[in-house]
């Protein structure tokens, strides 16, 4: 915690914070940083992290490497799918987190394999749902909140949205039968849905990212699919969305289109610019002001409900013995996955 960060948190009073690998150097350090962030706002925070396993693993250097989703899925053991979520959840919770932005439920099509690698489990939507349902149940057993991403689907994306805007030429009927199946089937089990920075011109008629598109968030996700949880944008500082306009425009248009929460990561100036743009537009446009007030109320209500559902309370500082047990459990889980995958291959 620095004086600058403390001042920023006190001023904008965010719904939550998200830590990346650069913020995480040790178990007690991470726990203390999260606790200190919450002290500045004097209310419970969504304490978020991205931990899928494999290439997306923020706790690798603190507790150990977690198997990737594709590796766990290769075991064909639903008990291990659930244990994947539980082990990840227990590791996150021990360090003070309460939200894990996982699992990714994009479909593992050939087009996205160079970008998504081992983050995805299957091109079959039903098999993806099977893994995700168990993973989410495991997170809940560990008293952690999960998230489905990246709506409406990056399975056909050939570009990395961290740097460029993927344009996915796919008709809505096909998306409905494939990429949208996980959101349709799991709509009551996913606390958060994260929206992708990708364009779907055959659905929207333009190249506006889904994260800024009312068609996707309000008309399809809310009304047609019937999702009632919290909608969160992917990081609005990513190249895939900034290609469409500056951070100020991205923040305002994301909320206007249906997002409840905006992720603004990595640069303090972008956080302040997004915050000031939202306040300024709410003061200038009364309809947008009403929208912002409604969203703020919904987020606070949702936060109370979701944190109560996992019986959230700030855990005690993680002791060395606790971290050692988690490391051992994680190693044993990795061995289980490896051995079950070998057994599965031998029976095929």
Residues marked as catalytic: 162, 234
- In the chain, the N- to C-terminal Cα span, in Å, equals 53
Q: Is the peptide bond before 150 cis (omega within 30 degrees of 0)?
A: yes
What CA–CA distance (Å, rounded) separates 119 from 104?
7
Measured from the Cβ of residue 205, the count of other Cβ atoms closer than 10 Å reads 9
Coil, strand, or helix at residue 193? strand
Pick the closest to residue 163 from 111, 237, 233, 240 (CA basis).
Answer: 240
Task: Look up tokens 């989703």; give the residue.
Answer: 69
CA-closest candidate to residue 119, choices 83, 66, 163, 75: 66
Strand 230-233 relative to strand 99-100, pairing: unpaired
Would you tell me the crossing angle of helices 247-257 and 268-284 to the nearest 10 degrees? 50
Find all residues with CB under 8 Å of 84, minimum gap 6, and list them.
53, 66, 67, 69, 72, 134, 135, 138, 333, 337
CB atoms within 10 A of CB 277: 19
Report yes or no: 52 and 119 within 8 Å, Cβ to Cβ. Answer: yes
CA 5 – CA 344 distance, rounded (Å): 50
Q: Rounded distance, CA 223 to CA 157, Å? A: 25
- In angstroms, rounded to a whole number, what is the distance separating the alpha carbons of residues 49 and 20? 7
| Residue with tokens 């593992």, as numbered in its chain | 108
CA distances from 159 to 126, 154, 272, 306 (A): 25, 9, 29, 34
């Amino acid at each position: 915690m620095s004086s600058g960060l403390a001042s920023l948190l006190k001023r904008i009073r965010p719904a939550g914070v998200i830590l990346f690998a650069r913020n995480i150097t040790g178990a007690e350090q991470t726990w203390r940083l999260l606790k200190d962030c919450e002290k500045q706002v004097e209310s419970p925070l969504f304490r978020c992290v991205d931990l899928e396993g494999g290439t997306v693993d923020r706790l690798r250097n603190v507790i150990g490497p977690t198997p990737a989703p594709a590796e766990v899925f290769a075991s064909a053991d639903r008990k291990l799918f659930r244990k994947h979520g539980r082990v990840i959840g227990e590791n996150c919770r021990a360090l003070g987190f309460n939200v894990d932005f996982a699992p990714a439920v994009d479909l593992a099509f050939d087009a996205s394999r160079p970008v998504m690698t081992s983050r995805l489990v299957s091109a079959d939507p039903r098999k993806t749902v099977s893994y995700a349902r168990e993973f989410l149940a495991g997170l809940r057993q560990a008293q952690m909140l999960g998230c489905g991403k990246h709506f409406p689907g990056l399975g056909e994306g050939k570009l990395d949205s961290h740097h460029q805007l993927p344009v996915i030429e796919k008709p809505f009927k096909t998306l409905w039968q494939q990429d949208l199946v996980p959101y349709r089937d799991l709509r009551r089990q996913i606390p958060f849905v994260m929206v992708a920075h990708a364009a779907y011109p055959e659905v929207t008629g333009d190249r506006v990212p889904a994260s800024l598109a009312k068609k996707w968030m309000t008309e399809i996700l809310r009304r047609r699919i019937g999702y009632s949880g919290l909608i969160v944008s992917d990081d609005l500082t990513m190249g895939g969305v900034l290609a469409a306009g500056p951070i100020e425009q991205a923040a305002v248009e994301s909320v206007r289109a249906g997002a409840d929460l905006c992720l603004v990561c990595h640069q303090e100036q972008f956080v302040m610019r997004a915050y000031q743009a939202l306040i300024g537009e709410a003061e200038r446009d009364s309809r947008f002001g009403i929208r912002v007030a409604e969203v703020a109320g919904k987020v606070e209500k949702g936060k109370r409900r979701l944190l109560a559902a996992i019986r959230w309370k700030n855990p005690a500082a993680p002791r060395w013995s606790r971290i050692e047990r988690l490391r051992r459990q994680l190693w044993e889980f990795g061995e289980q996955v490896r051995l079950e995958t070998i057994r599965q291959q031998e029976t095929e």
